[in-house]
Every structure is written in structure tokens, then in C-alpha cells.
Amino acid sequence: MLRRLAVAAALLLGLAACSGGNAPQEETSGPVKLRFLSLAWQKESLAANKEIVTKWNAEHPDIQIEYVQGDWNSVHDQLLTSFEGGDAPDIFHYEAAALGEFSKQGYLADLSSLVSSELKGQIAPGVWDTTTFDGKVTGVPFLLESQVVIANKKLLDAAGIAVPPATGGWTWDEFQANAQKLTAGETFGVAWALKSPTNRVMNLSLNFGGKFFYEEGGKTVVKVTDAEKAVPQRIHDMLYVSKTASPAALGMSGADSLPGFFGGKYAMLPGSVSLRQQMVEQAPAGFEWVTIPPLKGASSQQAANPQTLSISEDSKAKKQAMQFIEYFLNPANMATLAKGDWLVPTGKKANDELVKLTGGKQGWDVAADSAADLTISAFQKVNGYPEWKSKHATPALQQYFADKITLEQLAKQLEDGFRG
């Protein structure tokens, strides 16, 4: 054991010295085989991914794609070790929020000159910004997740509440008033499933212009002004002042709150647009549900953290890899992938295609319309955000939502916790 470890340590040092860091890779011409790490996990999405790859391989004998299945929970470690070990997949699926760290280490290829103007024009500039670091485009964003409200249609009807059209959702005031109308007996108007509260609060705070992170004298600082306080305060009020939100749901994830929702304990579930899939697959027979568009504060803007496709800097066939990405994300394919994951495609044409494909049913009209509200937020570019989130923001928000600290104490903990 001792010897083995000594050998391992010695080899590590030797190899580290010999590895030559991130030297530019020579591009290959001629037939290539590329590895594509996909994180698709839903049944339909898996099938769509595999089908597109099979079609590509049949049509492009010189650029063969090996489909490798990964999983969301361990992909970060898997990629990190692959990058360090010089054995990273050529193309990989991940999310914008994770790319900054990899980009800083030089693991990701700059796609600026590789992306076609057609694909570039399909995706909104605010969404491209989420994958752009120091001027380098490190990934092609392709699937977005907006925050909507899923509601029990029968309970809405019984309370005399009309379902708003896909193009115009409720304001927060209207939402809170409707939650009040829906709260009766054993039923709460809302279940805020806030097991991981920070990203939800960051995303929704853009409704009131809350950015949390500001530049001051060349330094990044956290500031909690009225704009940042708005969303936490409104949620807190629903829990403890109007008592229209269930405190029991606070520690749940979106999926955990479904039994209560289907059982009539909660009338509305604010959550991801992808929750619709569980509605379709798991709702009991006869259960009617509707998708309410994103809530509006000063605007209905939300932070976008799109799923992305990136190319490793170590790949010897970046052009061919990009060719595959362009094919994989053409409007028809992007629409199919979004449908499989119940998410929103970033491409405008893909969005139109998806509404046509689904007839706008099962909340697809709302999902498609919400794409326009998604943009970058300041927190997505901040170094040290993950640490601040886990060590300070999440515990502080959990305490505030559990009514253990005041709004002012929450603000102080959030501000003091960040050491830019």
C-alpha cells in the first residue's frame, strides 16, 4: 500500500511536470470519432438524444459520435477529473452556471469563431451572456428553465379565479390575493417548496430588479436594498402574515410537494416549468391543472441558467464537434429535445416549432412565451457565488423563511457573508 501510494505520488509529480499544461491542441482533419457526454435522463429526452446521434452517424460517416451517458449529480467531478487527466469528452452537456470555473482553468474551447451566424441569431443576447466569460463563448445555451405557477383548476374555478392568458400573467399582488382566496379549511393557497431557496430567490428577485451583487470601487459586493428584499419578504408574509402558504412545504423540493398538491392540500405550486411533466405523468385521473405564466413585479424577468453544449479545449476536432452541435441544435431537434425535458428551447424558431408541435397544450404556450423573460443576472458571473450560496445565503434564507430571524438580520447576513 505504502509503495503503491508512493509510486502514485511520484508519478503524479512527474506527469504534472511533463504534461505541458493547456497547450493548444492540433486540429485533426479526416475521419474522426468524437465522444459526446449527455446528461439527458428523462425517457423522452433520452430517446431524442440517441435518435439524433444515430441519424447524424448515419449521415456523417467521417464524423462519428460516441454517445456517453452521464448523470447530473456526479458530472462536475467526472468532468473535472477528465479535464485534469487529459481525457475529457469532446462535447459535453452541462449548465451555464458551472462553465465559468472550467473556463477560468482553460478547459473550454472558445466557440466565438465556430458558431454559425444562423445559430447565433436564434438565441437572445442575454442568454448568450450566461455562457460568455472574459469574451470567450464557452457553451451553446439550448434549454431554459423558467419559474411558473402550476395551479389546481377545480380549486381556481371554485374560488372564481380566472386563468390568465399565456401572454400576461398575474402580478405578485394578484398572486398573493388569489392565494388568500384559495386558502380555506385544510387547503393552503400556495406551497413554496424551498429546499434550495437561494437560486429561486435570486432568479425571482429580478422581477423587482433585485441583483444582490454590485460593483463598487472595482470590487464586487452584496447589497440588499428594497429591490432584493421584495421577494423574500412576500414569501415570508404568505407564510406567517396572511398564512396562505404552507410552512410544512418549505423543506420540500418541487417533486416532494406533488402528493399534497394532488391531494388538495395546496392549490398552487410555484416552480419550474418542467414540473408539468410530473403533472402529465403522475396526476391522478380527472385531476385538472393549469400553468400560470411567470409572476410580474416591476417586470417578469427571471435569471436564466440554461443547459449548454460545450467543446473541450483538448478536443482535436473542434470544428467537427461544432458541426455536430449545429446539427444537434437545429430548430427541429432543439424543439424535440425541449419537449423531451419539458423545458424551454433557447432558439426562436425552435420555440415556434414547439408550440406548433404541441398545439400550445399542457402549458407549452406559457413555456414558450416565458423564454422572452429569461436573461442573465449578476450572480451568475460572480466568483465565489457557490461558496457564498452554500455557507451564507442558503442558511440565512432558511432561517428567515422559518421565521427565526428578521428581514434586517437576513440582509446583514447576506451582505456580511460575501467576501468578494
Partner 1 sequence: MMKRFLQYVALMGYLIFLGFPLVWMLSTSLKPPPELVKLHPTLVPDAPTLMNYVQAFSEQQLDRAAFNSLKVALGSAVLTVIVALPASYALARFKTRVGTAALGWVLLSQLFPFVLLIIPIFLVLREVGLANTHAGLVLIYVVWALPFALWMLQGFVRNIPRELEEAAAVDGATRLQVLWRVVFPLLAPGVVATALFAFISAWNEFFFALVLIKNPDLATLPVTLARFVGIEGTARLGPLAAGSLLATIPSLLFFAFMQRRLSSGSLAGAVKG
Q: Which residues bind partner 1 (CB under 8 A)?
A: 1-2, 4-5, 7-9, 11-12, 15, 35, 41-43, 46, 66-74, 77-78, 81-82, 84-87, 196, 253-255, 258-260, 262-263, 265, 278, 281-285
Min CB(405)–partner 1 separation in Å = 25
Q: Please give, one letter per residue, the 3-state secondary structure of the chain.
A: CHHHHHHHHHHHHHHHHHCCCCCCCCCCCCCEEEEEEECCCCHHHHHHHHHHHHHHHHHCCCEEEEEEECCCCCHHHHHHHHHHHCCCCCEEEEEHHHHHHHHHCCCECCCCCCCCHHHHHHCCHHHHHCCEECCEECCEEEEECCEEEEEEHHHHHHCCCCCCCCCCCCEHHHHHHHHHHHCECCEEEECCCCCCHHHHHHHHHHHHCCCCEEEECCEEEECCCHHHHHHHHHHHHHHHCCCCECHHHCCCCCCCCHHHHHCCCEEEEEEECCHHHHHHHHCCCCCCEEEECCCECCCCCEECCCEEEEEECCCCCHHHHHHHHHHHCCHHHHHHHHHHHCCEECCHHHHHHHHHHHCCCCCHHHHHHHHHHEECCHHHHCCCHHHHHHHHHHHHHHHHHCCCCCHHHHHHHHHHHCCC
Min CB(79)–partner 1 separation in Å = 10
Q: Which is nearer to partner 1, 229 or 339 (CB)?
A: 339
Q: Which is nearer to partner 1, 251 or 263 (CB)?
A: 263
Min CB(171)–partner 1 separation in Å = 28
CA–CA gap between residue 78 and residue 39 (Å, rounded):
12
Q: Which is nearer to partner 1, 53 or 140 (CB)?
A: 53
Min CB(197)–partner 1 separation in Å = 12
Q: Which is nearer to partner 1, 202 or 222 (CB)?
A: 202
State the helix-helix crossing angle for 226-240 and 197-205, rounded to 10 degrees. Answer: 120
Min CB(212)–partner 1 separation in Å = 21
CA–CA gap between residue 44 and residue 40 (Å, rounded):
9
Q: Which is nearer to partner 1, 88 or 124 (CB)?
A: 88
Residues recorded for the chain:
420
Q: Which is nearer to partner 1, 71 or 216 (CB)?
A: 71
Q: Which is nearer to partner 1, 15 or 163 (CB)?
A: 15
Min CB(118)–partner 1 separation in Å = 29
Min CB(255)–partner 1 separation in Å = 5
Min CB(272)–partner 1 separation in Å = 9
Q: Which is nearer to partner 1, 59 or 71 (CB)?
A: 71
Q: Which is nearer to partner 1, 7 or 407 (CB)?
A: 7
Min CB(73)–partner 1 separation in Å = 6
